[in-house]
Amino acid sequence: MVNGELMKKVAKKDIQKLLSQWQKDFTVFVPSRETGVAEMVVWDGQDTGFLDWYRNTVVPPKNNFLLNMEKMFGFGKDDGSYKLELPAPEESKQLIFGIRPCDAKAMAIIDMVFRDAYEDTYYLNRRKNTLLIGMGCVNPYDSCFCTSLGFGPMEGGDVDLMLTDIGDAFLIEEVSDQGKELLARTEGVEEATQEDEARGGEARDTANNKVTRKIDTGEIEKRLPLSFDNKEFWEKVAAKCVSCGICTFLCPTCYCFDINDEMVRGDGARFRNWDSCSFSLYTQMPMENPREEKWRRVRQKVHHKYNFYPMLFDIIACTGCGRCIRLCPVNWDITQTLSSMPAEATVGTESRNGD
């Protein structure tokens, strides 16, 4: 019940009809494995089979806003004068169906960089034209630890509508005004009963209890600054990392990018693509590379999320989605690193120069 009113619900067998209605006004994205990895792709207007297999996507939905590669603009020379081709602002409305609470939280975290710290028009055009329809996780992975980060697998604070699986139907919580407005013009949605809401409460408790991996963020906040100069500790935790960059590319809160120009016979384009602090060339400068050694890069990744980002924006830049644990080829585990940090500072082993 929200504000004394019962929630809404939609039968699972009617999800296709629901999406078809929304497809008239939006480009609808749903979880799909058609590219070989699970990611949010444009709905084909038919398939709702993802309801049977979907736990979370491999590629996080940040890719729908900060594209893994995009052309920023074209440039070149035309009859002796220079030309610049700016892309038309994207006006099409998107709807992402089934985003998990951790990935919606990640978008709120990235907003602090691309909307608040500076305005990135490429990102913001998509963000402001997109509705997020959240879906709680009834089956979290054992690598998930979202409940340690102040929310849970069924919480919908960062979406427009939030769906909770109650068996043969989804309860629908109206979170934002835009979500409420969308639901008001959607057919096939009924009022939930008190029994439905009770089933929703049970589903939330069950899902929360399934997230058994925990970290102690209070203890981490105290220990992380003490760990910075502990070269021995970081060398040990970085030993098996092969610097592939997967943990950062597929992290929903990592947002680093690189910019490159390409030119063929007078016609050029500027591209932006994801980059990763796991790569040794990430910090290459003409005179030096402050993070040539792997342990410095692993330290940077952990400190950025749990120390530097909170200093800047007062929030940890990790949602506990567990992707970096599930998808690392050598089983590097951020929760093990965070939980094994020494409680005492090690004095004088490493200077902060360059970091």
Is 217 a residue that touches ligand SF4 (CB under 6 A)? Answer: no
In whole angstroms, the minimum distance from the beta carbon of 211 to ligand SF4 comes to: 12
Q: Which one of 19-27, 176-184, 256-264, 319-327 is the stretch in contact with ligand SF4 (CB under 6 A)?
A: 319-327
Q: How far apart are CA 48 and CA 69, in angstroms?
A: 28
Residue from 59, 131, 220, 241 binding ligand SF4 (CB under 6 A):
241
Residues forming beta bridges with residue 42, ordered by sequence position:
29
Q: Which one of 4-12, 24-32, 72-80, 241-249 is the stretch in contact with ligand SF4 (CB under 6 A)?
A: 241-249
Is 319 a residue that touches ligand SF4 (CB under 6 A)? Answer: yes
Neighbour-count burial of 108, counting CB atoms closer than 10 A to its CB (0-12 exposed, 13-18 middle, 19+ buried): middle
CA angle (68 as vertex; 163, 237 as ends), nearest 5? 85
Residue from 334, 337, 338, 341 binding ligand SF4 (CB under 6 A):
334
Is 246 a residue that touches ligand SF4 (CB under 6 A)? Answer: yes
Is 318 a residue that touches ligand SF4 (CB under 6 A)? Answer: yes
Residues forming beta bridges with residue 70, ordered by sequence position:
272
Contacts of 50 (CB under 8 A, 6+ apart): 30, 31, 32, 98
Residue type, position 66, single letter = L
Q: Which one of 82-90, 152-160, 196-204, 245-253 is the stretch in contact with ligand SF4 (CB under 6 A)?
A: 245-253
Paired tokens of 269:
């384009």
Residue from 175, 207, 247, 338 binding ligand SF4 (CB under 6 A):
247
Is 245 a residue that touches ligand SF4 (CB under 6 A)? Answer: yes
CB 69 within 8 A of CB 76: no
Query: Residue 162 or 324: which CB sits closer to ligand SF4?
Result: 324
Is 58 a residue that touches ligand SF4 (CB under 6 A)? Answer: no
Q: How far apart are CA 5 and CA 197, in angstroms?
A: 11
In whole angstroms, the minimum distance from the beta carbon of 352 to ligand SF4 comes to: 23
Query: Residue 182 or 338: which CB sits closer to ligand SF4?
Result: 338
Assign 342 to helix, strand or coil.
coil
Query: Residue 166 or 241: which CB sits closer to ligand SF4?
Result: 241
Contact map string, positions 250 to 289, toward ligand SF4, x by CB under 6 A: -xxx------------------------x-----------
- Going from the C-alpha of 86 to that of each of 89, 121, 199, 257, 258, the distances in angstroms are 9, 12, 51, 20, 19
In whole angstroms, the minimum distance from the beta carbon of 53 to ligand SF4 comes to: 21
Nearest to 336 by CA among 143, 207, 152: 143
Residue owning tokens 């998107």: 94
Count residues binding ligand SF4 (CB under 6 A): 24
Q: How far apart are CA 262 and CA 238, in angstroms?
A: 35
Is 140 a residue that touches ligand SF4 (CB under 6 A)? Answer: no
Query: Residue 106 or 182: which CB sits closer to ligand SF4?
Result: 106
Assign 96 to helix, strand or coil.
strand
Query: Residue 154 or 189: which CB sits closer to ligand SF4?
Result: 154
Query: Residue 179 or 320: which CB sits closer to ligand SF4?
Result: 320
Q: Which one of 15-23, 50-58, 170-178, 324-332 is the stretch in contact with ligand SF4 (CB under 6 A)?
A: 324-332
CB 226 within 8 A of CB 345: yes
Number of Cα atoms under 13 Å in the Cβ half of residue 270: 11
Residue from 61, 98, 136, 320 binding ligand SF4 (CB under 6 A):
320
Q: How far apart are CA 151 and CA 164, in angstroms?
A: 15
Residue from 161, 323, 338, 341 binding ligand SF4 (CB under 6 A):
323
Neighbour-count burial of 337, counting CB atoms closer than 10 A to its CB (0-12 exposed, 13-18 middle, 19+ buried): buried
Binding site for ligand SF4 (CB under 6 A): 241-247, 251-253, 278, 305, 318-324, 328-330, 332, 334
